[in-house]
Amino acid sequence: MNVKTLLVAVVVSLAALPAAAKVELRKGGSSWAVIEDDGTIRIGGSSVGKLDSDGTVRKGGSSIGKVESDGTIRKGGSSIGTIESNGTLRKGGSSIGSIESGGTIRKGGSSWGSASNCCGDHGSKRSVAAVIVFFSNDFFG
């Protein structure tokens, strides 16, 4: 096989890979939520909202908040916290938890849950933060 044929074979193989994988969030060891490739957020198998590519979080089609590209978390236009690039989650300036690169989600230093297929970059940490901030009653509240 010549180099050109090999290169074409590699390119075709890479093109067949999915662009993104759904992210599954587990809480207390059990499956809790899923962020699908299109941004649909499911809890208990039912669609509860959507995460737009610009970080807008929707419930019932209406915007309920946003996680901006710099990590600022907004609700009703006002800043309520941040998700830093290192995964530290802050509320009112104080650290309340973290989303680790390996997917472990911590609240106050203790393991709260985990996320699969994510968390190596700030964008995926922002997505997980959006779900736990806007759809979990026991983390950010």
- Write the pLDDT tens digit of every residue in 72-121: 999 999 999 999 999 999 999 999 999 999 999 999 999 999 999 999 99
Q: How confident is the model over 42-56, as a mean pLDDT?
A: 96
- State the pLDDT at residue 20: 53
Angle at 40 (CA atoms; ends 23, 94), nearest 5 degrees: 65
Q: How far apart are CA 88 and CA 67, in angstroms?
A: 14
Q: What is the band of 3 on the pLDDT scale with cuts at 50, 70, 90?
A: very low
Amino acid identity of 91? K
> What's the CA gap between 136 and 33, in Å, rounded?
10
Average pLDDT along the chain: 87
Positive/negative CA dihedral, 110, 116, 117, 123: negative
CA-to-CA distance for 6 and 102, rounded, in angstroms?
A: 33
